[in-house]
């Protein structure tokens, strides 16, 4: 069904007959990664699966109209051939524009353009009571607009978004520089944020003597391209060569083929990597495979002796605290050869329920793998200690993954008072879960 107005009417009717609290149903995988307590939910979920189309590309004015559940893969495929890209495009193909807007999407262009939500011009939002409102930064619903980032669907669902685009070129030339010293690494990364010739900045680091800085720029032509879908594994390639040439599409989704670095580098997987049909070579397939594997492993009478903790998290601290966070992470957690990610971020505006300072450089630390746990440590030990360190350094963490924060602390960190007022205004009958419920107390709810 492609008539946006008809789909909205149909959705409002479906919402009216919903039992229990609101829950989102969609066609593509979820990129939430919460592994805390579970809560059963009577609701089958409200299906937004049909709201997944690109509606209109305005090349002249660098704007895109898109439905809320459209994936970044479909967005990039619609705009890149026209020489355009969203200002910030998450690296996993199946992340959606709605999910990344309410879930603080980031990427290697964040130092220049802020978060995914900073590119939002307006949004049509389905409120939990069934009304559909258009919000932007200045109209009567501007408070809703400014509270969408970090709301995770608890104030309503984005059905349509108008976002800004930027000019793009077909290829990317990436320069890789290795550092053995964290101070030098951070200084050069910070200097790069002021260089107008660079389009993308990020880092990967493996130990306290092995830091990689990748700066990239979009170009019209390259001497050749590296194949990071079949032949090379991106995070290994950066350790082997100083110049990497990619198509812009491959660059944008560079961590998708290996779900960052989680596709095991075994002989069987190498074969799979090389020869499996394209529809299996993406993070969506791998996420489904992992969910399936976990369900089956839970049923097995025996278990592997190795205890691990999924540490899939992002933390942001003011740039001056970056060194201390990096040192702490490296001293306390062994990723066994897998990297940490480092991304500089500067947002032009502070969202009301993700209080990060506007126009100040932040350091984003990311971890996207399982970590072996020493016996006797409390559950989710590594998540807890890194969260604590981040907050002690005046930082904030994203909530797409598990959190174990007390209600009081959560309210202090994420403007609980302001959120309460918005919740009373936009969800007076409490049909949707609260942010604390979704992010902390019942973490299986999407
Ligand atoms: C392994 C991993 C890697 C990640 N890597 C990146 C990355 O590279 N870059 C990045 O930016 N982010 C990354 N993320 C975070 C990701 O952007 C957020 O989890 C985001 O919210 C996921 O969006 P989704 O479209 O997959 O939505 P879902 O996972 O399906 O939903 C996420 C939440 O958003 C709500 N939601 C979804 N759609 C809408 C909508 N239309 N309107 C309102 N609410 C909605 C849902 O109710 C849910 O609470 C990563 C997450 C994981 C687990």
Nearest CA to ligand 1 atom 9: 90
CB-facing half-sphere around the CA of 7: CA atoms within 13 A: 19
Question: Over 90: is that where the pLDDT of 383 sits?
Answer: yes
Q: Indicate if 308-413 has the same CATH topology as 4-168.
A: no
For residue 86 and ligand 1, the question of a CB distance below 6 A is answered with no
Closest CA to 325 of 406, 390, 387: 390
| Distance separating alpha carbons of residues 46 and 433, to the nearest angstrom | 14
pLDDT of residue 244: 98
Sign of the CA dihedral with 400 first, then 404, 405, and 406 last: positive
What are the tens digits of pLDDT across the range 320-361? Answer: 999 999 999 999 999 999 999 999 999 999 999 999 999 999
- Centre of ligand 1 to C-alpha 29, Å, is 10
Q: Which atom of ligand 1 is nearest to the CA of 106?
A: 11
- Centre of ligand 1 to C-alpha 94, Å, is 9
Q: Which residues contact 150 (CB under 8 A, 6 or more apart)?
A: 102, 103, 104, 351, 353, 354, 399, 414, 435
Domain ranges, ordered by start, for the chain: 4-168, 171-296, 308-413
For residue 96 and ligand 1, the question of a CB distance below 6 A is answered with yes
Task: Return the CATH class of domain 308-413.
Answer: alpha beta
- Centre of ligand 1 to C-alpha 328, Å, is 27
| Distance separating alpha carbons of residues 301 and 160, to the nearest angstrom | 47
Question: Over 60: is that where the pLDDT of 216 sits?
Answer: yes
Average pLDDT over residues 108-112: 98
Closest CA to 109 of 81, 87, 79, 138: 87
Average pLDDT over residues 372-398: 94
As a whole-number percent, the residues of the chain with pLDDT over 90 amount to 78
**4-168 classified as CATH 3.30.465.10:** yes
pLDDT of residue 40: 52
26/358: higher pLDDT? 358
307/277: higher pLDDT? 277
β pairing state of 171-179 and 210-219:
antiparallel
DSSP 178-211: EES-HHHHHHHHHHHTT-TT--EEEEEEEETTEE
Average pLDDT for the chain? 92
pLDDT of residue 34: 60
Question: Over 60: is that where the pLDDT of 42 sits?
Answer: no
Q: Which atom of ligand 1 is nearest to the CA of 398?
A: 15
Average pLDDT over residues 177-193: 98
pLDDT of residue 161: 98
What is the largest distance, in Å, between two alpha-carbon atoms of the chain? Answer: 61
pLDDT of residue 446: 67
What are the tens digits of pLDDT across the range 77-99? Answer: 999 999 999 999 999 999 999 99
Average pLDDT over residues 252-272: 88
For residue 158 and ligand 1, the question of a CB distance below 6 A is answered with yes
DSSP 103-123: TT---TTHHHH-SGGGGEEEE
Angstrom distances, CA of residue 2 to CA of 6, 68, 415: 8, 14, 38
Angstrom distances, CA of residue 374 to CA of 9, 78, 305, 339, 401: 54, 47, 11, 20, 22
Average pLDDT over residues 177-198: 98
**Contact indicator for 259, 369 with CB cutoff of 8 Å:** no
């Amino acid at each position: 069904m492609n008539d946006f107005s008809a789909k909205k009417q149909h959705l409002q009717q479906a919402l009216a007959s919903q039992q229990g609290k609101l829950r989102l149903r969609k066609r593509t995988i979820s990129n939430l990664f919460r592994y805390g307590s579970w809560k059963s939910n009577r609701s089958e979920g409200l299906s937004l699966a049909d709201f997944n189309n690109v509606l209109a590309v305005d090349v002249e004015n660098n704007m895109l109209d898109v439905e809320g559940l459209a994936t970044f893969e479909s967005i990039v495929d619609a705009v890149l051939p026209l020489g355009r890209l969203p200002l910030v495009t998450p690296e996993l193909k199946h992340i959606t524009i709605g999910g990344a807007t309410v879930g603080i999407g980031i990427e290697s262009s964040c130092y220049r353009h802020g978060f995914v939500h900073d590119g939002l011009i307006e949004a049509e939002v389905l409120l939990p009571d069934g009304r559909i409102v258009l919000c932007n930064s200045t109209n009567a619903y501007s408070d809703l607009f400014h509270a969408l980032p970090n709301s995770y669907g608890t104030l309503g669902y984005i059905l349509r978004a108008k976002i800004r685009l930027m000019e793009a070129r077909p290829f990317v030339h990436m320069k890789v520089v290795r550092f053995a010293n964290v101070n030098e690494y951070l200084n050069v990364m910070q200097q790069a944020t002021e260089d107008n010739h660079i389009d993308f900045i990020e880092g990967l680091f493996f130990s306290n003597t092995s830091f990689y800085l990748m700066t990239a720029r979009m170009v019209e032509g390259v001497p050749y391209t590296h194949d990071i879908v079949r032949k090379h594994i991106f995070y290994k390639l950066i350790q082997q060569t100083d110049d990497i040439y990619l198509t812009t599409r491959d660059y944008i989704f560079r961590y998708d083929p290996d779900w960052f670095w989680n596709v095991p580098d075994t002989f069987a997987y190498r074969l799979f990597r090389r020869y499996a049909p394209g529809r299996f070579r993406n993070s969506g397939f791998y996420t489904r495979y992992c969910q399936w594997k976990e369900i089956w492993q839970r049923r097995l009478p025996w278990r592997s002796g190795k205890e691990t903790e999924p540490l899939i998290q992002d933390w942001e601290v003011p740039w001056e605290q970056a060194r201390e966070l990096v040192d702490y992470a490296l001293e306390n957690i062994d990723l066994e050869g897998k990297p940490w990610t480092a991304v500089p971020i500067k947002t032009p505006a502070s969202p009301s329920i993700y209080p990060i300072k506007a126009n100040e450089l932040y350091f984003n630390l990311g971890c996207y793998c399982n970590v072996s746990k020493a016996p006797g440590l409390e559950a989710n030990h590594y998540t807890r200690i890194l969260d604590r360190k981040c907050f002690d350094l005046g930082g904030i963490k994203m909530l797409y993954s598990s959190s174990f924060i007390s209600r009081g602390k959560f309210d202090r960190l994420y403007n609980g008072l302001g959120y309460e007022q918005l919740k009373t205004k936009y969800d007076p009958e409490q049909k949707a879960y609260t942010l604390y419920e979704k992010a902390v107390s019942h973490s299986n709810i999407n």
